[in-house]
Structure 1
Amino acid sequence: MTTKRTPLTATALATLFAITGAIHFVRPAVFDPIVPRSLPGSSRSWTYGSGAAEWVLAAMVAHPRTRSIGGLLSAFFLLVVFPANVRTVRVLRRKPLPHRLVALVRLPLQAPLITLALRVGRDEAS
């Protein structure tokens, strides 16, 4: 029986989602203010839901049988949460400069993360 090694890109993406998913549960108050107000229900529910989604995506990307779809779903997820990242910049506009810089730097990082997720999905599909 041969086992397929997990590519470094998939490991990196799975690790990122596992860590950020955990932070949603450990420090939910960090994420609650950036949930768009137009969404129904409580911000905390969306915070926990997105953390759980990140754990599911981490598991999908980590497992060879679900890696392809996991990569594609990860790219979609990163697109869907982008408005929350934009909102973070507005929410933190009166915070100290380091907080604002982190929020601003996150915005352009979305593009390479989406590219990474698409690569994980595409590489596994071939």
Structure 2
Amino acid sequence: MIGQPIEAAGRVWLRQALIVLYGGIGAVHLAAPDALMPIMPDWVPAPRLVILATGLCELAGAAALLSPRLRRAAGGGLALYALCVWPANLKQALEGIHVAGLPDSWWYHGPRLAFQPVLIWAALFAGGLTDWPFRRGRSA
């Protein structure tokens, strides 16, 4: 990464961070789906199956970020995933649902909910689907 423009170095660093993040979260979804059942919105069909499927999607997305050929699809898929899990995060925060291993305060939930758009951008940027805010020289 030495000598690379900041955009390229940041993209590599962010991609590595997302691989670790989504790999870890995906493993939790597969290892302990019942712990996440209380935060699933009531309108989600087959919630346990959805938790397991999202765990597989997280692991697949993390693995695909490693492949230049699959990276764009992974970035788009992980961005869509981050958008789709927002209702569960909202339910947990608004209803004060305890999940073992996670804090219960708004000091955790507030930043987590506010950070969701950043996570969506991070997936798009790491996957090479956006250059914003680094693209220069374009006029509006």
Q: Do they fold alike, i.e. is TM over 0.5?
A: yes
Of residues 42, 53, 75, the one that matches 1:37 is 42
* Deviation readout 1:76-113 (Å, 9 max, x if unpaired): 11111111111111232689xx4133233210111111
Verify the 8 A CA contact 1:35 1:46 in the aligned structure 2. no
Structure 2-normalised TM-score?
0.73
Q: May I ask how many residue pairs the two structures share in their alignment?
A: 118
Between the aligned residues of both structures, percent identity stands at 30
Higher helix fraction: Structure 1 or Structure 2?
1
Instruction: Give TM-score, length-normalised by structure 1.
Output: 0.80
Task: Give the counterpart letter for 1:112 in structure 2.
Answer: V
Which consecutive unaligned segments of at least 5 residues does structure 2 have? 1-10, 132-140
Match of 1:118 among 111, 120, 124: 124
Partner of 2:137: none
- What is the Cα-based RMSD across aligned positions, in Å? 2.5
**Aligned residue identity for 2:119:** L
Q: Per the alignment, do residues 32 and 7 of structure 1 end up closer, same or farther by CA in structure 2, a change over 3 Å counting?
A: same
- Match of residue 16, structure 2, among 11, 16, 22: 11
Give the CA deviation at 1:11. Answer: 1.0
SS at the partner of 1:62? coil
Partner of 1:103: 109
Q: Tell me if 1:21 matches 2:26.
A: yes
Distance 2:111 2:130 in 1: 29
The separation in 2 between residues aligned to 1:47 and 1:91, in whole angstroms, is: 19
> Highest Rg: 1 or 2?
2
Residue pair 1:67, 1:124 contacting (<8 A) in 2 also: no
Show CA shifts across 1:39-61 (max 9, x none).
Answer: 222x2212111111111111111
